[in-house]
Amino acid sequence: MTPHPDAPLLEVDGLRTYFDTLAGTVRSVDGVSYTVHAGQTLGVVGESGCGKSVTALSILRLVPRPPGRFAGGAVRYRGTDLLTLSEAQMREIRGNRISMIFQEPMTSLNPVLTVGRQIAETVQLHQKVSRAQALQRAVEMLRVVQIPEPERRAGEYPHQLSGGMRQRVMIALALACNPELLIADEPTTALDVTIRRRSSTCSSACRRRWAWAWCSSRTTSAWWPKAAIAWS
């Protein structure tokens, strides 16, 4: 993949993602377009069921096919259409150049692996470092997202952590390889108000530190940072 330096970081152009069911074709995403530039925060706001999650999954080509299919449009990362790349090329991008925080951390994290190992595996895959270096990076990222006693927490399993800690583990996992773009799919929906505010503050602090672009979807604009550009 040859990046185009003058192109927007992400350009979703007329994206259409459909699902073929026994009852007919469901047009979950039907002509969505938006652009995200480097360092920009884009807020995707809409009611439940309007296609926010499917749009986010479509960008990284994580929609199960079948029954899903891309019926049209393009998703360009630095000028290259991700919908035309091979699966091997997409694996180089996912978690490395573009990362995603999924909606429910308890179902997104592997229950039989420690959180430290899950972060370390991503680092080893994309940055070609030793296991010891990857585990050290995992502990560092847990410290960055303000998890107390990160060395001990790295050896714990998801069910041993609170909801707020699991959410911060997801943030640490997404940021471990210093991506250019972070996609967040309603990352605080399952949290109570206090923990939601802490997680949002943590995300904003990390963004200021690394200056990555942020594309996030929510059902309300109440939690957006002031710099966000709302789209619906």
- Quote the Cα angle for 147-151-154, to 5°: 75
- Answer whether residue 4 is part of any domain: no
First to last CA, the chain: 31
Q: Which two tokens stand for residue 93?
A: 């991008």
- Quote the Cα angle for 133-60-225, to 5°: 80
- Answer whether residue 212 is part of any domain: yes
- Answer whether residue 156 is part of any domain: yes
- Answer whether residue 53 is part of any domain: yes
Strand ranges (E), 88-135: 98-101
Which parts of the chain have pLDDT scores under 70? 1-6, 187-214, 216-232
- Answer whether residue 1 is part of any domain: no
- In the chain, % of residues over pLDDT 90: 53
Structural domain boundaries, residue 124 = 10-231
- Answer whether residue 172 is part of any domain: yes
Per residue in 89-130, pLDDT tens? 999 999 899 999 887 777 889 999 999 999 999 999 998 899
Query: Could you give the number of structural domains in the chain?
Result: 1
Query: What's the whole-model pTM score?
Result: 0.81
Average pLDDT, the chain: 84
- Answer whether residue 225 is part of any domain: yes
CATH of residue 214's domain is 3.40.50.300
- Answer whether residue 163 is part of any domain: yes
